[in-house]
Amino acid sequence: MSNELSTGDVAPAVDLTAHDGSTVTIGGMHDQDSVVYFFPKAFTPGCTTEACDFRDNLSSLPAKVYGVSGDSPEELARFVEEYDLAFTLLSDPDHAAAKQWGAWGERTINGETSEGPLRSTFVIDAAGTVARAEYNVNAEGHVAQLASELNSQ
């Protein structure tokens, strides 16, 4: 994972298609802080847990939330509807954004090692700078911890 981002790095600006068909730029300058999280696949147990944790903690996060996966915009739209997610999910079908953000690499699942998406979470300030980068996060519990830490700053 030579592309891992660190605190103080400029977040790569990448245009992605949202679940509603619009184009959204992650990274770069925005009018507020953002949380960008990369997840492996919609509707899988860990990813559903993580998305619902973001949904349930959304009001306590002082930032706009974006979830990114390799799923199609249509699949992400079904995921948003099924779990009543009130934030934007973005499609990264060729994993270009995941690779630029260091959220793609070697992982082991059920004893099998392969390359794939790494569950990662980033806090990007309004100037487009990485304020926090977390790789290989746990699907369960990290959102509440993130919200607590962001609100105590």
By annotation, the residues acting in catalysis are 47
Distance (Å, rounded) from C-alpha 35 to C-alpha 117? 17
Q: Which residues contact 40 (CB under 8 A, 6 or more apart)?
A: 46, 47, 69, 70, 116, 117, 119
- Cβ 5 vs Cβ 129: under 8 Å: no
